[in-house]
Copies of this chain bind each other. A is one copy, B any other.
C-alpha cells in the first residue's frame, strides 16, 4: 500500500463475479492497479451445485459467498453492487448503479442466460436455473407439486402434478433429473399418506441423439444407463415444440406436467451484444486470441460470454467453469504484464486446458472423464464428491455443505425442503433508492424476465 508511483495507478474494472471474474480479480492480487469488481449480486455463486438448491438438498448460503468476504484481504480490490447498463468504449467507462466508472482495462465476464431459442414466452412455464431465485422457485414448485397431488382427486391432474419434465440433457438437466427422482423416491415418499410419490415420473427430454453431448459417447451411454436404473424416463431425439401452463409437446407427444424445467441451453449475456462487435454462436462475442475485442486491446470478454476457437485444438473453448476461470487467469496475466511493462502472454494467445469432465446422476452414480480415463459408478461419484467439496474450500460453507450431504446421503433426508417466496409478502419492495437494481425491483409488477 505504501508504494507510490509517478503515474496514477491503472484502473481495472471487472464486470461479473462468476468463475471468470473471480479468478481474474484474484490473479490480479499483486498487480499494482486498482481493481473494481461490479456484480449485480453481492455473492459469488458456485453454480455447478445450484441444482442441489433446486432439489432441496442445500441452502443457497451453502453455495454462495459474499464477494466482499472473498476479497476482504485483497487490498487492491473493491466491490460494487450494481448492474452494468452502459459501456462507452471510446471514453472508457461503464455505467452502473447510476454512476460512471472509468477504466483503463475492462474485463467483461457477465456469463450466460437461459436460451429459449426464440420462445421467451416459455420461461413463465419452464423456468431455467441460473440464479438463486430461480432455484428457490423451482424448489418451491417441486415441493408444492407433491402437496397438490396429495389433495387432487382427478387422475389426470394428479398425474400432471407428479410428472416432472426437464428439457435438455446437459450436465444440469442430467443432474436435476436424477436429483428430482431421488427426492420423489427416497426423500419424501414416507411423508405422504395418500400419494405414492415413488410413482412420480421424471422425464428428461433431449433434442439431440445422446445426453451429455459435451462428453464422449461412452460416458453418455453410462449416464443413460444410470438414469434409467434410477427410473428416469429419457427421451432422446425429441424436440420440444410447445410449452404451456399444463405441460409440453415434444416429439409429437403431449405430456401433462406442472413442473417443466428448462435446461436446454444458454446464450451469452446481452451485455456482449452492447459492445457492437461481431458475435459468434449463441450471442457470444468473437474475441481475438488474447480474449480482447477488435480495436480495443484494453477490453476483454471471457467465460460464457466469449467465443474463441482454441488455436491448439481448433475447438471452441467450452462454456464451462474451467473455461471461464482459465480465461480469467489468462487476461489477469495480460493486464498485469501491461501494467508492469513486462513481457506479455498476449502473443501466444489463450489456450484451454481440458481438466476433465464429470456429471453426477444421483447417490453413488456419476460419470467422470479424465483424459482417456472414463469411468462411472461409485468411484466416479466419490471423485465428484471429493472434487466439489474441495473446490468449496474457502467457502465457509464447506463444513455445512459436507454435513448436509452426509446427512442427506446417509439418511436420505433433505434439510432444505421449504416452500417459500410464493406468497405476496415475498415481493415487499426494497425502499433504498440508491441503485438501479432497486429501481428494477420496484418495477417488479411487470412480467418477469432476467435479461432486462
Residues of A within 8 A of B (CB): 40-43, 59-62, 64-66, 68-69, 72, 78-82, 97, 99, 123-125, 127, 131-134, 136-137, 140-141, 143-145, 147-148, 150-152, 157, 161, 188, 190-193, 245, 258-259, 396-397, 399-400, 403-404, 407, 411, 413, 415-432, 434-435, 437-438, 440-441, 443-446, 448-450, 452
B residues in contact with A441, CB < 8 Å: 422-424
B residues in contact with A143, CB < 8 Å: 42
Instruction: State in angstroms the CA–CA spacing of A191 and B72 once bound together.
Output: 5
A424 near B400 with CB under 8 A, answer no
Instruction: State in angstroms the CA–CA spacing of A97 and B403 once bound together.
Output: 36
Nearest B-chain residue to A434, judged by Cβ: B148
A134 near B425 with CB under 8 A, answer yes
A432 near B192 with CB under 8 A, answer no
In-complex Cβ contact of A426 among B65, B144, B427, B449 (8 A): B427
User: How many identical subunits does the complex contain?
Assistant: 2
Instruction: State in angstroms the CA–CA spacing of A351 and B36 once bound together.
Output: 62
A448 near B427 with CB under 8 A, answer yes
Nearest B-chain residue to A429, judged by Cβ: B124
In-complex Cβ contact of A133 among B42, B65, B144, B420 (8 A): B420
In-complex Cβ contact of A430 among B141, B193, B416, B448 (8 A): B141
CB pairs A–B below 8 angstroms (25 shown): A42-B143, A59-B59, A59-B416, A60-B418, A61-B415, A66-B191, A66-B418, A68-B188, A69-B191, A69-B413, A79-B191, A81-B147, A123-B428, A133-B421, A133-B425, A136-B421, A144-B438, A147-B434, A148-B434, A148-B435, A259-B432, A400-B403, A400-B404, A422-B437, A424-B448
B444 near A424 with CB under 8 A, answer yes
A42 near B432 with CB under 8 A, answer no
Instruction: State in angstroms the CA–CA spacing of A149 and B157 once bound together.
Output: 50
Instruction: State in angstroms the CA–CA spacing of A188 and B67 once bound together.
Output: 12
For the complex of A and B, 5 pairs with smallest distance between CB atoms: A68-B191, A148-B434, A59-B59, A61-B416, A81-B147
Nearest B-chain residue to A396, judged by Cβ: B415
Instruction: State in angstroms the CA–CA spacing of A346 and B79 once bound together.
Output: 63
B415 near A397 with CB under 8 A, answer yes
B404 near A147 with CB under 8 A, answer no
B417 near A144 with CB under 8 A, answer no
B residues in contact with A147, CB < 8 Å: 42, 81, 434-435
Nearest B-chain residue to A66, judged by Cβ: B417
A144 near B435 with CB under 8 A, answer yes
A428 near B127 with CB under 8 A, answer yes
B133 near A434 with CB under 8 A, answer no
Instruction: State in angstroms the CA–CA spacing of A418 and B404 once bound together.
Output: 19
In-complex Cβ contact of A403 among B42, B403, B430 (8 A): B403
B134 near A428 with CB under 8 A, answer yes
Instruction: State in angstroms the CA–CA spacing of A39 and B272 once bound together.
Output: 47
B residues in contact with A422, CB < 8 Å: 430, 437-438, 441
B residues in contact with A188, CB < 8 Å: 68
B residues in contact with A123, CB < 8 Å: 428
B440 near A424 with CB under 8 A, answer yes
Nearest B-chain residue to A41, judged by Cβ: B419
Choose among A134, A140, A426 the residue with the greatest number of B CB atoms under 10 Å from its CB.
A426
Instruction: State in angstroms the CA–CA spacing of A288 and B452 once bound together.
Output: 57
B residues in contact with A141, CB < 8 Å: 430-432
B430 near A449 with CB under 8 A, answer no
B423 near A440 with CB under 8 A, answer yes
Nearest B-chain residue to A408, judged by Cβ: B396
B432 near A448 with CB under 8 A, answer no
Choose among A397, A404, A424 the residue with the greatest number of B CB atoms under 10 Å from its CB.
A424
B407 near A81 with CB under 8 A, answer no
Choose among A400, A428, A449 the residue with the greatest number of B CB atoms under 10 Å from its CB.
A428
